[in-house]
């Protein structure tokens, strides 16, 4: 759950610091309202670029982004003095990449994948909510969005395989 104790204005993020820059989704996490949605949107160009590569490359880059994200988010959370500050959106970028893994690119799959990911990330059904509340550090920031991406991706794959998009 994103901490509401401190606003983005109360935290001194430094976008010149590469760790903060990436953790804050290239600055998109500082946009209001709904920084998570802005962060997910920041992932769209990354997805569009990665979708041009073979699946193996896509998966390797996504896995790298997840594991480096644990470190990025951990350092930035410590610097901010809160767990999972709302401006930290690297997890949303990776969550979108996970969502889009199993379907071929089209504007309709991207739009539905985006919406499904945001839905699962906001609603946090079980076990996402449990992990969000109980797992700390950078891994805690990343794991709930990984699962939201898996859930959204599974729904997207079903919708796609049924020929609805």
**Helix, strand or coil, per DSSP, at residue 3:** strand
pLDDT score, position 1: 45
The two three-digit tokens of residue 83, written as one number: 């767990």
Separation between Cα atoms, residue 31 and residue 97, nearest integer Å: 21
Burial bucket for residue 122 (CB in 10 Å: 0-12, 13-18, 19+): exposed
Residue pair 74/138 in contact (Cβ under 8 Å)? The answer is yes
Higher-pLDDT residue of 132 and 59 is 59
pLDDT in tens, 39-90: 999 999 999 999 999 999 999 999 999 999 999 999 999 998 888 899 999 9
Higher-pLDDT residue of 8 and 124 is 124
The secondary structure of residue 1, as a DSSP letter, is -
pLDDT in tens, 16-37: 999 999 999 999 999 999 999 9
């Amino acid at each position: 759950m994103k901490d509401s104790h401190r606003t983005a204005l109360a935290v001194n993020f430094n976008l010149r610091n590469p760790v903060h820059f990436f953790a804050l989704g290239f600055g998109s996490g500082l946009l209001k309202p709904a920084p998570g949605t802005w962060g997910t949107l920041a992932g769209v160009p990354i997805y569009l670029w990665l979708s041009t590569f073979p699946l193996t490359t896509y998966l390797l880059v996504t896995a790298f982004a997840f594991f480096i994200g644990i470190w990025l988010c951990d350092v930035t959370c410590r610097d901010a003095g809160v767990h999972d500050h709302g401006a930290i959106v690297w997890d949303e970028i990776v969550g979108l990449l996970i969502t889009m893994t199993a379907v071929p690119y089209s504007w309709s799959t991207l739009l539905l994948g985006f919406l499904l990911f945001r839905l699962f990330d906001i609603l946090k059904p079980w076990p996402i909510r449990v992990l969000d509340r109980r797992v700390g550090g950078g891994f805690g920031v990343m794991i709930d969005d990984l699962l939201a991406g898996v859930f959204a991706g599974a729904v997207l794959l079903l919708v796609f395989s049924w020929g609805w998009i």
